[in-house]
Amino acid sequence: MANPPEFKPLFNRVQQSDRHDDALAVIAMLGATTLDNIRQQAEVFGLPQKGPYYPYIDADLIAKLLTSRGLVGTVWKEGKEFKDLPDVAIAMVDYDADWEVGRCVLYHRLPADHSSKVAAAYVIDPYPHADAKLHIRTDLTGLVPAWYIGVHQAPAAKTKAK
């Protein structure tokens, strides 16, 4: 099902590269930056420049990258339906429990006072081989989250009075 043409997501889609870096692409979307920028920062935090690097993209690295963008992420939590996720989340879909692998997408539930009349929630999929109609989905039928990291703005730093 195609998305309504008038729907505009809050976040811009960042396509993952051939490095299987879907989680990094989602963080780039959340941080309004490029995948290359996030990858370079991840390398500063210990991600190798050449693979295999997937074991390094764990909750700790994700937390560091989110924090560097003024965001806070929860630990990975099990999820069964999008309605149970927080308003903004890195969601793992297409999960294979035997292999313990899936792919990450950005989930966003619009606030109740949002002007959108066409969607209450949507997913942005960084996967490069998906049909272009599925890059931004307002119809989440058939897409099931298995795990998620909730994401929110970091609290404003309190300044000390002198």
Q: pLDDT per residue over 42-64, tens digit each?
A: 999 999 888 777 788 899 999 99
What is residue 117's predicted lDDT score, i.e. its pLDDT?
Answer: 63
Q: Which amino acid is at 154?
A: A
Listed in order, strand segments (DSSP E) in the chain are 71-73, 77-78, 88-96, 101-109, 121-124, 136-137, 147-153
Mean pLDDT of 77-100: 94
Give the span between the Cα atoms of 32 and 38, in whole angstroms: 10
Give the predicted TM-score (pTM) of the model: 0.89
Q: What is the mean pLDDT of the chain?
A: 88
Give the span between the Cα atoms of 29 and 140, in whole angstroms: 19
